[in-house]
Copies of this chain bind each other. A is one copy, B any other.
Amino acid sequence: MMEIIERLKVKGITLTPQRIAIVEFLGKSVAHPTVEDIHKAIKRKYPTMSMATVYSTLRLLKELGEIQELSIMKRGKACFDPNPKLHHHFLCRKCGKILDMDVDCPIIKKGWVSGCRVEEAQAYLYGVCSECLKKEQSAKE
């Protein structure tokens, strides 16, 4: 994730310890954290870290195209994906986990559809993940 830091530096973005901490946390996260998740995690290191700072840094990173915010919401809370590239998501209704889907849909992508210019695309699948299905199976036996 140091590449992000480099790009921010090149763009003249002020690199505060808080911002670096957020970028580093996002870089190693795989769970599509909410603002609260991020705040809680970083508060251990920086006890004064405020929600306002987390919100503003996330907005900055989003505007710079370094991360993406998902339209799917974890129980009403926004969540973020450190991977800004086009990919889709699966939300498990049992455990609430969000999984990245590496499916390449020929239609849901940038380009043209019915005369409209598509600049961004996101697909959301909802259901039960393989882990939860396994648990259901064992419970039955």
Contacts and interface: CB of A to CB of B under 8 A. Distances in A.
Interface of A: 71-73, 88, 90, 92-93, 99, 101-108, 113-130, 133
B115 A133 contact: yes
Contacts of A104: 107
A97 to B, nearest CB: 10
Given A88-B108, A108-B105, A127 B117 contact: yes
A99 B127 contact: no
- Tallying the copies of this chain within the complex gives 2
Given A103-B113, A116-B130, 14 more contacts: A71-B72, A88-B108, A88-B123, A90-B114, A90-B118, A99-B116, A103-B107, A103-B108, A106-B106, A115-B129, A115-B130, A119-B126, A121-B124, A124-B124
Contacts of A106: 105-106
A115 B123 CA distance: 18
A73 B103 CA distance: 24
Contacts of A114: 90, 99, 101-102, 130
A117 to B, nearest CB: 5
